[in-house]
Amino acid sequence: MEAFEELIRWAEDRGVELHGVTPHTLPGRGVGIVATKPLKAGDLILQIPTSTLRTLDTVRPEIKESLPKDTKVHALLAAELALDKPNSEYSPWNAVMPSRDSIISSLPLAWDPRLHAYLPKPALALLRKQQAKFTRDWAAIQQTPFASPTAADTTTPPITRQDYLYAWLLVNTRTFYHEASPAARRAPREDRMVLQPVADLFNHSGTGCAVTSTAARFTITADRAYGIGDEVSICYGQHHNDFLLTEYGFVLPEHGHGADGAADQNRWDEACLDDALLPALGAAHRALLEERGFLGNYVVDAGTVCYRTQVALRVLCVSPGQWERLVSEGEDGGEALQEEVDRLLLGLLRRYRGTVAGKIEEVEGQY
Ligand SMILES: C[S@@+](CC[C@H](N)C(=O)[O-])C[C@H]1O[C@@H](n2cnc3c(N)ncnc32)[C@H](O)[C@@H]1O
């Protein structure tokens, strides 16, 4: 607990205010924020002066000067974190960051690439974009003296790819968008990312405390009543589990388990059905769907199967001519056809559940 006390002392010295909350280690969630007194909706729980943020403007000049002018804030903050010395001004903050092992094991970008084949399609697509960004940023760092110090500099060990990956993922999982000041709004959106002390310890839930900001401060306010010891969360956004896994290294469980159980369920979750549906389509059906722009990108969420899925399933139930007519007229073909489509989908989903279970077994057998 000493590290948290040190962090709070350090943060309060800089004007951060905590009201009725404190950091706490939580099983399976690293550190989180819990209530230390009963809280009610609307209570101010955290206030962070913007002067404490790590931003594009606070990155050390020698780091900025060593990198191309268009280097993104993500890359710069990661470089600075990777270069922070144990006695840096940020050391009480750095001391409570997740360990290298926990970051490397939870974030797909850092996994053994053989595991990437097991990611669902949308997670893999996000990962490919992330890989491209990381590769670009690491290539830029490799051109700097930080990755290959001169022979004369024997005091600074070079940043390795693993050091940089760890720091880059810390930034990826812990930044907030700061858009409240005119200066911040002038920057491109990807350069409005900031690190904020203490606020970066809030975990995510589907519904969470309100985060607001002005040019002067970030403010977090209780969204509902909390009892002593309850975890107090914020909502990182309306993200499905594929996004949460790739960007943050966790998924929300299917069934809630918090004090407010419903809040722990991912109401924005959805699953891509391409691997369930595409194998059921023959070449002629695929060609028809392709021609009309309906091949792939099939999605189901907690309440609905998407329109593309409905259209694709109908191609398996009616003649090509009938299907063309339904698509052209935007018709669903009536109740009997809908029942047939529902039965077909159910069968495909059952088969797909078996495929998924098989993949889980395969991974568990290997790792
Ligand atoms: C902004 S940090 C929150 C503080 C973090 N738990 C820590 O130990 O420092 C975001 C990270 O917290 C973890 N996290 C956040 N919400 C979570 C949740 N609902 N369940 C599990 N892990 C969560 C993930 O590792 C995520 O990348």
> How much of the chain, in percent, has pLDDT values that exceed 90?
85
Longest dimension (CA), the chain: 80
Say how far apart CA 41 and CA 230 lie, in whole Å.
Answer: 14
Q: Is the pLDDT of residue 188 over 90?
A: no
Q: In what order do the strands lie in the sheet with 234-234?
A: 17-18, 44-49, 217-221, 204-213, 234-234
List pLDDT tens digits, range 193-223: 999 999 999 999 999 999 999 999 999 999 9
Residue 261's pLDDT band (cuts 50, 70, 90): very low
Q: Is the pLDDT of residue 40 over 70?
A: yes
Say how far apart CA 24 and CA 30 lie, in whole Å.
Answer: 9
Say how far apart CA 122 and CA 253 lie, in whole Å.
Answer: 18
pTM of the model: 0.93
What's the CA-to-centroid distance between 244 and ligand 1, angstroms? Answer: 10
Residue indicated by tokens 């889980």: 360
Q: Is the pLDDT of residue 11 over 70?
A: yes
Chain mean pLDDT for the chain? 93
ipTM of the complex: 0.99
pLDDT score, position 76: 97
Q: Is the pLDDT of residue 262 over 50?
A: no
SS3 21: strand
Q: Is the pLDDT of residue 278 over 90?
A: yes
Q: Which of 29-38, 45-54, 247-256 has the lowest mean pLDDT?
A: 247-256
Q: Is the pLDDT of residue 73 over 90?
A: yes
Residue indicated by tokens 């060593």: 66
pLDDT score, position 170: 98
Task: Give 314-319 contacts, CB < 8 A, sequence gap 24+.
Answer: 314/341, 315/281, 315/285, 315/288, 315/289, 316/280, 316/281, 316/285, 316/344, 317/341, 317/344
Say how far apart CA 235 and CA 233 lie, in whole Å.
Answer: 7
Q: Is the pLDDT of residue 177 over 80?
A: yes
**Stronger pLDDT, 330 or 149, i.e. the higher one:** 330
Domains (ranges, CATH) in the chain?
2-53+196-264 (2.170.270.10), 61-193 (no CATH), 273-366 (no CATH)
What's the CA-to-centroid distance between 10 and ligand 1, angstroms? Answer: 22
Say how far apart CA 243 and CA 123 lie, in whole Å.
Answer: 6
What's the CA-to-centroid distance between 96 and ligand 1, angstroms? Answer: 12
* Nearest CA residue ID for atom 22, ligand 1: 29
Q: Which of 223-237, 251-265, 341-355 has the lowest mean pLDDT?
A: 251-265
Average pLDDT (159-167) is 97
Instruction: Say which amino acid occupies 277.
Output: L
Say how far apart CA 244 and CA 165 lie, in whole Å.
Answer: 18
What's the CA-to-centroid distance between 208 and ligand 1, angstroms? Answer: 14
Q: Is the pLDDT of residue 256 over 80?
A: no
Ligand 1 proximity of 29 Cβ (cutoff 6 Å): yes
**Stronger pLDDT, 257 or 230, i.e. the higher one:** 230
pLDDT score, position 148: 83
Please list the residues that pair with 23 across neighbouring strands: 33
According to DSSP, residue 334 is labeled -
Among residues 333, 317, 329, which one has the least CA distance to residue 281? 317
pLDDT score, position 265: 75
pLDDT score, position 34: 98
pLDDT score, position 185: 73
Say how far apart CA 133 and CA 335 lie, in whole Å.
Answer: 48
* Residue 88 CA from chain centroid, whole number: 28
Cβ-based neighbours of 99, under 8 Å, separated by 6 or more: none
Residue 30 CA: which ligand 1 atom is closest? Answer: 8
